[in-house]
Amino acid sequence: MGAARPDRLLLLLTVAAVWGPCFSGTLRSPQRRWPVPYRRFDYRPKTDPYCQARYTFCPTGSAIPVMEEQDVIEVYRLQAPVWEFKYGDLLGHLKIMHDAVGFKSSLTGKNYTMEWYELFQLGNCTFPHLRPGMDAPFWCNQGAACFYEGIDDAHWKENGTLVLVTTISGTMFNEMAKWVKYDNETGIYYETWTVQASPNKQSIVWFDSYECSKFILRTYQKLADLGAVFKKIQTNYTSIILFSGEPIYLGNETSIFGPLGNKTLAAAIRNFYYPFKPHRTVGEFFVDLLKIIDRVILNHQFYLFYNLEYWFLPMKFPYLKIIYEEVPLPIGSKTSFGV
């Protein structure tokens, strides 16, 4: 049986999103660098056949073309509500937005879209599967870049954004393409949550998310480094934030779930993730939602999986918040590649 999750999980995520079991250990994190640096890898591993997507990843994807050096390419900011193709503007009212970037070649007239998202949908990247006969939670949490010809104007314009942000040369585009290949091969795991100490703008950030908007921000910054000059327009992005005290490092899969692992801790982590399983009925959904509220809000506890390691978060008010805040377009730091 595959590992696709129902869409109802997104509702669970936005209503109560992350609340778990009791843990009263005395472990202290040996890592004091905050936020914890996102881990990059030497190569992208093959996905497990157990992981199945409800919607095929990048169905019309193609290789990034090599542009003529003298080409002038328009760059567009693209943003629309998550799952707009299915729910319209429903998630747009909650400011849960998906980001992409568009390109238009002046020489060929062709349009292209580039985005970065989950291989197996958001639910699988946010919560694991508890498979029979396996002690450790099983994750289907890879994300990747998708490049394809065409820009779906109606999709981006109707409930979102399609706006020109800069113009680049073919040379700059080709340099960006090389960077995209590196970024995509080394940054392979989707991280849903930003975790910070408080809602204050100067708050300590414990963990930073790694999702679609962060890819677009990195792409813009790379173009700025290559010399792109961006227009002065406001650009907002969605973040889903958990609030906690200082995280406690617990270990990796082997140290927790292996033969010499901590069986009590292993059971606590599994019990925490159990209510986030796919639900067959609305009744099951609300029963598990109550469990989540009890664990995260009343007991102030959450288990986070980040960089293939587990952390304990001592949750605190307001626990979870979805924000839609401005992140300014970057300022270039190098000489332009001849637009």
Over the stretch 185-196, which tens digit does the pLDDT of each residue have? Answer: 999 999 999 999
Over the stretch 42-79, which tens digit does the pLDDT of each residue have? Answer: 999 999 999 999 889 999 999 999 999 999 999 999 99
Active-site residue, from 98, 129, 279, 300? 98
98 is catalytic: yes
Q: Which pLDDT score, from 0 to 100, does residue 3 have?
A: 52
212 is catalytic: yes
In whole angstroms, give the CA distance from residue 281 to residue 283. Answer: 5
- pTM of this structure: 0.88
Over the stretch 98-154, which tens digit does the pLDDT of each residue have? Answer: 999 999 999 999 999 999 999 998 999 999 999 999 999 999 999 999 999 999 999
Q: Determine the average pLDDT of the residues in 222-245.
A: 97
As a whole number of Å, the end-to-end CA separation of the chain is: 52
Q: Which pLDDT score, from 0 to 100, does residue 278 have?
A: 82
Q: Determine the average pLDDT of the residues in 164-176.
A: 98
Over the stretch 302-337, which tens digit does the pLDDT of each residue have? Answer: 999 999 999 999 999 999 999 999 999 998 765 444
- Helix axis angle, 212-225 relative to 170-186, nearest 10°? 140
Q: Which residue has the tokens 């696709």?
A: 4
Please state, in angstroms and as integers, the Cα–Cα distance from residue 331 to each residue in 35, 221, 285, 335, following that order: 24, 8, 46, 12
Dihedral angle of Cα 153, 156, 159, 161, to the nearest 10 degrees: -110
The answer to whether residues 264 and 21 touch, using CB atoms and an 8 Å cutoff, is no
pLDDT at 17 over 70: no
Q: Which pLDDT score, from 0 to 100, does residue 334 have?
A: 54
Active-site residue, from 129, 146, 212, 279? 212
In whole angstroms, give the CA distance from residue 103 to residue 180. Answer: 14
